[in-house]
Structure 1
Amino acid sequence: MGEYHRALITGASAGIGESFAEELASRGCSLVLVARRRALLEAAAERLRERHRVEAEVLVADLADPRQLEAVENRLSDESSPVDLLVNNAGVGETEPFADCPVDSEQRTVLVNALAPTRLCHAALASMTKRGRGGILNVASMAGQLPAFRNSATYGATKSYLCSLSESIRLELKAGNSRIAVTAVCPGYVPTDLTAGITLPKIAWTSREKVVRDSLRGLSKNKPLVIPGTLYKLAAIGARAMPRALVRPFAADSPKDDDALSTARTR
């Protein structure tokens, strides 16, 4: 599907989004960095400009706010400096039982993880279709490949939605012989600020750099789904092949650490 000239990345101030920005900038790709925290965004943009000599715009937006989300949609529709790669990476999630979690927190998870990517995909596709090329990476989660995810019920549901949305859009584009690639990415546990207090075996972790490289490689081949790491690939195969009644007890829990994670955690 070729190289990309300008990428818009949501959740670009830290974690996987920051790694996407670093990798794409190293390839000479101009960037539009989107996140809520201005200071972190501006620092990241300045660092990328100096290190890689690329353009790096800053667009501060809370994707749960309709007006701020609309500003990101408008940027995707701007034909004067077109975006040919959208990376829907921003995400939030709860870490307690559904009934105990404030409903406003659950709603925010739906807005950021499901509604925002839907609207941004729609805006990006309208612009990309005119030019006949482009790419969309939707960063979901292994939670989206499992039948249940306790203590993060809405998070898991939104990630399942994002996987389904991505594949459906991809099939529609393929049927029309479009050159626009759409790929969903389902990482497992990745070392970030959000997972700093979680204790898991070494085999359970996937580096941010591997997630990014595998994602971009998969998008270049227009793969419908990328699951970084052998362990998680096998887990996804097992989850699909086994009856849900057998998988459900093992599909289970969002690990929690009160010092590292809180309700409405943000990526």
Structure 2
Amino acid sequence: MSLAGLTLARWRALDAASAERCAREAAGRAGGRLLRLDPAPHPEGAVHRAVIERDGERYALVPGGDVTVGFDMDGWRPLPGQLTSYREESLAGGFGFETDPRAHLARVMTPRRKVTLPAVLMAVEPRKLPELPSLVTALFAGQGLRLPRPDEWEHACGAGAGTLFRWGDGYPAGVSPYGGGTGPHLLPNAFGLHIAFDVYDSAEMTSDPGSVYGGDGGEAVCGGYGTLLEWLPLATANRNPHTADFLHGPEGEDMFEDFSARPVIDLD
């Protein structure tokens, strides 16, 4: 079968030996080597996690196919602590947020949608931007790489999970979404990616200038928006337009090194 046509459903259905053969083929096609293959926890059941090394950089195998990305706003049932945070912290702070938290989420989360994606290799760690955002596409192309498309980024982050965050619908009590510590946000995701792990340091650009994911540069934390909104930038489908405007606007010329980009290798 074509590796580019490797679907998430088929990848999850493979036994360990078949998954290893597939991962080794992907590594060989990319000019790399398979470092490890192991089962990874996931809100909807374990999934294979394959990590490949090429030219000193680690990549995860991200299967594609017909997948669902985005956030199901109609189906969202906020946890009691999330509602309390929004009402007693976000609304009480006088920031002008909508009374209904769903209205706020609708502004910063992408809608639920079905897309068809190819299987790719995606860097385990994002790279800090070495150049102005406008130059990154050409820089990557010169290395045989490209930026992830928004749908690809969301799928790679959530790995098929329909939850608010890639690990579930809640966030750990007493833990900060920045600055280390412990928590599910700091663990590799189901595909082996270190992704959406720090609201300050993990904001990533994609091929769409209007789509920046994985963090907000600390806006919500610095602004004191409340616990729910401090964690929300790490939600899989969070695409805050203010963050994209900042990166690609005049301020981004001086602070682009605070943002990242994650290389992608096609498996044609």
Return the TM-score normalized by structure 2.
0.26
Greater percentage in helix: 1
